[in-house]
Amino acid sequence: MLLAIDIGNTNLVIGCIKDDAIVFKARIATDKAKTSDQYGVEIKNMLEAFGVQKEDISDCIISSVVPPVFNSVKTGVIKVIGKQPLVVGPGLKTGLNIHVDIPSQVGSDRIVIAVAALATYKAPLILLDLGTATTIEVVEPDNIYMGGIIFPGVKISLDALTSRAAQI
């Protein structure tokens, strides 16, 4: 079973995949102050809550857009499952041909959404992710990742508008 972890600005989304089926998915609040031990306990508790034992985990992959949290989560995972996780980042072969000026600077979340979409759909694709930040990605035929844009998500935009506008 594969343990997959997506470290986002608001939440860590964790889940397990077995035989191409999602066994479970859950969320843990992202907190820069948490230690590796705290993340390890939370991940262990989530696995147990869904009936997954550490022996069931054959591999792990982590994607992160929150560098200050990444090492704590990675170390916590190693403590829980006893395995070194694969990390989505530069050098990982994804099947994408990244056509941007500095490919190593493309966020792992943006790569993961493109790879996931291509597993189900054929390019050309325009992909939207409506999270803390809103991202739009463009993937051309032959798995060519052309790039995209990032702008504030709906909640951030609403918070900014209501804190700055007089009569909203």
In this structure, what DSSP letter does residue 101 have?
S
CB within 8 Å of 139: residues ≥ 6 apart: 96, 114, 117, 118, 123, 124, 125, 127, 145, 146
- Look up 109 and say whether it is catalytic: yes
Catalytic residue among 19, 37, 109, 142: 109
| Residues 109 and 62 sit within 8 Å (Cβ to Cβ) | no
Rounded distance between C-alpha atoms, residue 42 and residue 77, angstroms: 10
| Residues 94 and 115 sit within 8 Å (Cβ to Cβ) | yes
User: Which sequence positions are flagged as catalytic?
Assistant: 109
